Amino acid sequence: MEDLTEMLKGTLEGCVLQIIGGEETYGYAITRRLNELGFTDVIEGTVYTILLRLERNGLVRVTKRPSEKGPPRKFYALNDAGREELARFWAKWEYLSSRIDKLKEGGR
Amino acid sequence: MNFWETVTGSDLTRAWKAFEARAKALPAGHRAAWERIKAHLLPRSGFTGRDLLPVLDGVLGLLEETAADGQGVDEVLGDDIAGFCAALAGGEGLRDYRDRWREQLNSNVARKLSRLGG
Amino acid sequence: MGIRDIIEGKKHWRAHVARVKALPPDYRIVYGEIQKYFFKVGPVNLPDGRLLSGIVDFFEEGAAAGRPVLELVGHDVAAFCDDLIKDSPTYTDIYRASLGGEPGKTS
């Protein structure tokens, strides 16, 4: 779907946390996962800025690992603070989506 | 901690000298703009100049880059140097400059990449 | 002594420049313009050096994978830059605060 960028902005960080929470992974793989999911407009640069923020806020553990070609790759995994943040994200998301569903169904 | 806080008093003098040396290397138009910018910014407060260093460093860098790119000083600052300084020192205009730099960044990238043939 | 000279000392800066020079031409162009933009805007996290060296890390990975630079950062390079320094005040912000004026107001 096109033109999701604005709407996706606030939730993309949560999506990245969820992906990292599944398994330790790196920027390009995260981007590809999001693209495959249907968020085709998400570029690696955006994911890079999110990862940088997660690192600065102490939510991830970063490990440099050698890659077959090119420089070593930075791999990201959630730490305890990251897992708490992810739980908070899903709680907020469920609150938000349940309210919006209600609105759509015409309830109060 | 702010990096600039580590600059000591004697370093401050040295920094000023270095600024002036860099300014001397600028083309005449850019150098004149530098003098006017200094004249506008310096009387703005009674402080030592330490806080102003990074701002002036940025301004010098801007003048140097644009001179190297062959851009006229009017293209960068417009004819309103007072307005530019007011923007730097807390006026309303800063957002406009930031927007202009933003546009310059994207158009320079587009122009130089197309020249590359890709 | 420009910001260039102070970032982690001249030696580190030269090593940094050498890494930039080793990038493919399209990456080098975009890196150069990004650096220019940051020097103008003056985010306070610039002199710790990690902002710029982090970008080179990121670019080296993309270049090694053989991908064009704009595929990585998108066509709105400025938006990418602003995203990177979103949480960081600029030197102008600090200067303004030192004057004791209200932000966004001429004192």
CATH of A5-104, one of 3.40.50.2300, 1.10.1740.110, 3.90.320.10, 1.10.10.10: 1.10.10.10
Tokens of B50: 């330490």
pLDDT, tens digit (0-9, with 9 covering 90-100), for A17-67 = 999 999 999 998 999 999 999 998 888 999 999 998 899 899 999 998 888
Q: Identify the domain containing residue C47 by its residue range.
A: 3-99
Query: Per the CB < 8 Å rule, is A43 touching C58?
Result: no
Q: Is residue C94 part of a domain?
A: yes
Q: How many domains does chain C have?
A: 1
Would you place residue A95 in the very low, low, confident or very high pLDDT band (cuts 50, 70, 90)? very high
Buried b (16+ CB within 10 A) or exposed e, A15-38: bbbebbbeeebbbbebbebbeeee
The 3-class secondary structure across C29-91, one letter per residue, is HHHHHHHHHHHHHCECCCCCCHHHHHHHHHHHHHHHCCCCHHHHHCCCHHHHHHHHCCCCCEH
Residue in C1, C29, C95 closest to B15 by CB: C1
Full set of structural domains in chain B with CATH:
7-92 (1.10.1900.10)
**CA pair distance A67, A70, nearest whole angstrom:** 7
At least 3 CB pairs under 8 A between chains A and C: yes
| pLDDT for C10 beyond 50 | yes
Would you place residue A75 in the very low, low, confident or very high pLDDT band (cuts 50, 70, 90)? very high
Chain C contact for A104 (CB, 8 A cutoff): no
Return the residue of C nearest to B58 by Cα: C40
Q: Residue C43 phi/psi, 5° resolution?
A: -70, 140
Reference B65, options C77, C8, C32, C30; nearest CA is C32
At least 3 CB pairs under 8 A between chains A and B: no
Return the residue of C nearest to A72 by Cα: C61
Containing A77, the helix (H) or strand (E) segment is strand A73-78
pLDDT confidence of residue A60: 96
Q: Which amino acid belongs to residue C96?
A: R
Query: Per the CB < 8 Å rule, is C98 touching B60?
Result: no
pLDDT, tens digit (0-9, with 9 covering 90-100), for C19-58 = 999 999 999 999 999 988 887 777 767 666 788 889 999 9
Residue A6 makes CB contacts below 8 A (sequence gap 6+) with none
Residue B87 makes CB contacts below 8 A (sequence gap 6+) with B93, B94, B96, B97
pLDDT confidence of residue B68: 76
Rounded to the nearest angstrom, the minimum Cα separation between B110 and chain C is 8
What is the sign of the dihedral through the CA atoms of C46, C47, C53 and C54? Answer: negative
| pLDDT for B39 beyond 70 | yes
pLDDT confidence of residue A50: 93
Chain A contact for C76 (CB, 8 A cutoff): no
In the DSSP assignment, the letter for residue A68 is S
| pLDDT for B8 beyond 60 | no
Residue A37 makes CB contacts below 8 A (sequence gap 6+) with none
pLDDT confidence of residue B4: 43
Query: Per the CB < 8 Å rule, is B3 touching C26?
Result: no
